[in-house]
Every structure is written in C-alpha cells, then in structure tokens.
Amino acid sequence: MNEINRAPQNAVSEQFVSERLPVGWPWRLLVFSIALFALSILVYFGVKVGYRAYLEGRIAEVDAALTALTGEVTPEEQEQFVNFYSQIVNLRTVLGKHPYAGNIFTFLERYTVSEVRYTEAQFDTENGSLVLRGTGPSVDVAGSQLAALEAAPGVTRVLLRDVNVDDGVRFSVTIFFSDAFFERPLL
C-alpha cells in the first residue's frame, strides 16, 4: 500500500515543482540597472556642463555681432529711422480709421439732376448726414432730384426740409447715409 500511496504523491509533487532561477540572474539585473543609472547621470552632467558652455559661447558671439552692428549705425540714423517708422505707423492708423467722406462728391456727381444747382452743403460726420441747399427751374425738377437721391445706394433716408417757389425753386434736403457708404471709396 505504500507504493500505491506514494504514486499519487509523486504525481502531485511533480506537477507543482517550482522553477529555479539561475544563480547569477538577480546579480546581473542589479549590475545592469546600476550601469544604466550611472550612464544616465554621466549624460546629465555632460549635457549640463558641456552644452551650457557651448550655449554661453554662442551667446557671447551673438552679443559681439550685435555690438558690431550697433557701431555701424549712428545714433542719429537710429533716431531718424525710429521717427520715420512712427510716422508710418501713425499714418497707417489714421488712414485705417478715416472714413471716405470723399464719397460724397462722387455721389453728388452721379445722382444730381442736370438742372439742379447746389448753393450750400453741410456734412455732419457724427450722424453721417448731408444737408444740401439748392435751386432748380421748377418743382418737377426738385421732385425728380429728391427721387434720384432716395433711390441712390448707400442712402438710408432723404428729408425735404424747405421748398420756396419764386423765380424758380429753392429747396433744402437732408440726406442720411448708411455706415457702409463710408467704409470704402466709390469709384
């Protein structure tokens, strides 16, 4: 019976045999880790010391080149350049914000009836309106002038203020322009 009892015990012990590591394996892993750590420290200090010296040398070269370049341009030339540049920037700013009020002249040239003569004009930049006083041979001509102004693009509304019929017609008109009318020049 001992033999019978031993057979299953050997089979179970053979199934759960633990694997044995080679004797030098943990030491080799430890030596590799230490070597890798030492290499990384060596690279760190090499970059910190060697590359820093290289960068400081390059900075000194660039500073020397800038000093030489500064010596080539006189202070008077530098001041003239700065003044010229500031004038250009100021001009660009002013022209960028400048409305094209000159559009009014092109507008009047296009949309004025040939028999009408303007005697006075006032332009209000704050609300974009133009007050015109003019004369014409008849009320019909003044009416056609009013209709031409109302139909013109860029006009939001037209108000007829005054009409006097004497030896012809004298009238006063207020024209209100849209904001888009002043954004770009009329050609």
Q: Where are the domains of the chain?
A: 21-98, 103-182
Q: Is the pLDDT of residue 7 over 60?
A: no
Mean pLDDT of 2-12: 54
Q: What's the rounded Cα separation, in Å, for the pair 161 and 173?
A: 6
- Look up residue 71 and give its two tokens: 């010596």
20-51 confidence digits (pLDDT tens) = 656 666 778 889 999 999 999 999 998 888 88
Of all residues in the chain, the percent with pLDDT exceeding 70 is: 81
Of residues 25 and 143, more confidently modeled: 143
103-182 has which fold? Gyrase A; domain 2 (3.30.1360)
Q: What is the CA radius of gyration of the chain?
A: 47
pLDDT recorded at residue 135 = 92
Amino acid 10: pLDDT = 60
pTM listed for this prediction: 0.48
Stretch among 1-5, 41-45, 128-132 having the lowest mean pLDDT? 1-5
The phi, psi pair for 183, rounded to 5°, reads -80, -30
Span 74-93, pLDDT tens digits: 888 888 889 888 888 887 77
Q: Is the pLDDT of residue 5 over 80?
A: no
> Taking 90 as the threshold, does the pLDDT of residue 58 lie above it?
yes
Cα 71 from Cα 55, distance rounded (Å): 24
pLDDT of amino acid 39:
96
**Residue 98, pLDDT score:** 62
Q: Which residues contact 116 (CB under 8 A, 6 or more apart)?
A: 134, 135, 136, 141, 142, 145
d(CA 96, CA 173): 30
Rounded-to-integer distance, Cα 82 and Cα 10, Å: 98
